[in-house]
A and B are shown apart, each in its own frame.
Chain A
Amino acid sequence: MRTAAILAALVLLAAARNEASAQTYAPPTSAPRVTSAEAARRLVIEREVRERFARGLADEARADWSAADREFARIVDLAPPEPKTSTALYDRALALAHLRRANDAMDALDAALARDPGFAAAAANLTAIALAAGDDERARRAAARFVAIAPASARARYSEGLVAIRTGDFALARRDFTALLADDPAYAVAHYDLAIVELHDGRIAAAQVELERSLALSPGYARARLAYAELLLRDGRTAEAKAQLARTAADAADPSLRMLAHTLREQIP
């Protein structure tokens, strides 16, 4: 009985030792050590920047633009090393644009570009915001900068072409939209914009050809169809114009285009 108890105890002890030896532990690492107040301050700022980026992006994802603006403004104040400050300025500009503070958004993007002159996305959004705000001069400078940063960029060519139409530089607009179409002849929007350039240059037949190309590629493109109908009207082809206007009035998603097409059609005798 006693022998049996000793044997049982030995078996249990052996099992326990095996279990203990099977456990593995991470190799010992030294705890982060800060040797100066400045280094400690840097670590605190890094952590705050990381957290505020995460919160700001989450705010933007749920369209809480005011909250996002506050987070990114705080990061800019903390002035983390590049590219973090210019990225925070870029993200803040998105929030400001949605808050309809176009000038502040453009200032933020200018500041981002001052810190990182090769920041193509900042130049792209600066041009888009200036265009949407109707600030043609700022859009022109931003587009030129965008093209200089990314000469092969389709978005840069497109943006510069739009600005050029607005500012009456039709030679530049023609160059940009022709370059876009050389890369992608199936882009109906560029055919439409090239038609606008031709119209301004008084090349009516060429404008008509571009509109026909645009509509052949995208028959539902209401804006192109409206312009095409107006050209037909100008040529006295009223029956065809009426048919095009009727289709535009029926198809257009934009209520102002629908209304314009409807009104024009009603006025044709």
Chain B
Amino acid sequence: MLTLLAALTLVLTAQAALRFVIDDAVPSDPPTLLSPISEDGRVGWSCPAEKAARASTVRGAELPAATP
């Protein structure tokens, strides 16, 4: 009976610890806002904001870096 109780306590403690980890682990930050666009800025591929929005690479998309 005592062994069962100890095992149950262990399981509950592990679950509580996992809950704690999950609650603490928030996703990364939203990306920063893309830059302003000039009056004649949205001309094809030369618009930096549109370019970043449509970029297929992480670097081109100006996504958040893994910072300290």
Contact = CB atoms under 8 A, between A and B. Distances in A.
Interface of A: 49-50, 53-54, 57, 60, 83-84, 87, 90-91, 94, 97, 119-121, 123-125, 127-129, 131-132, 146, 150, 152-156, 158-159, 162, 165-166, 180, 183-184, 187-190, 192-193, 195-196, 199-200, 204, 214, 217-218, 220-224, 226-227, 230-231, 233-234, 251-253, 260
Interface string B26-52: 111011111011110110000101101
> Chain A interface secondary structure, helix, strand, loop or mixed?
helix
A242 B21 CA distance: 15
B6 interface: no
A124 B34 contact: yes
A121 B63 contact: no
B60 A154 contact: yes
27 contacts: A87-B39, A90-B36, A90-B37, A91-B36, A94-B36, A120-B54, A121-B52, A124-B31, A124-B52, A127-B30, A152-B54, A153-B53, A183-B58, A184-B57, A187-B63, A189-B63, A189-B64, A196-B26, A204-B18, A218-B66, A220-B66, A223-B26, A233-B17, A234-B18, A251-B68, A252-B68, A260-B24
B63 A57 contact: no
Given A162-B28, A193-B27, 18 more contacts: A53-B38, A60-B36, A119-B42, A121-B37, A128-B32, A128-B33, A131-B30, A150-B53, A150-B54, A154-B61, A159-B30, A183-B56, A217-B66, A221-B68, A222-B68, A230-B17, A234-B18, A234-B20
A195 B54 contact: no
A221 B14 contact: no
Nearest to B49: A121
B28 A121 contact: no
Given A165-B27, A220-B66, A154 B14 contact: no
A156 B58 CA distance: 11
Nearest to A153: B54
A91 B37 contact: yes
Interface of B: 14, 17-18, 20-22, 24-28, 30-34, 36-39, 41-42, 47, 49-50, 52-68
Contacts of A131: 30
A87 B42 contact: yes
Given A158-B31, A162-B28, A221-B66, A153 B47 contact: no
Nearest to B51: A121
Nearest to A116: B42
Contact of B53 (A87, A123, A221, A222): A123
Contacts of B14: 234
A230 B32 CA distance: 28
Nearest to A258: B68
Contacts of B42: 83, 87, 119
A124 B68 contact: no
Contacts of A154: 55-58, 60-61, 63
Greatest chain A CB density within 10 A among B22, B27, B38, B47 is at B27
Contact of A155 (B39, B55, B68): B55
A70 to B, nearest CB: 15
Contact of B52 (A94, A123, A155, A220): A155
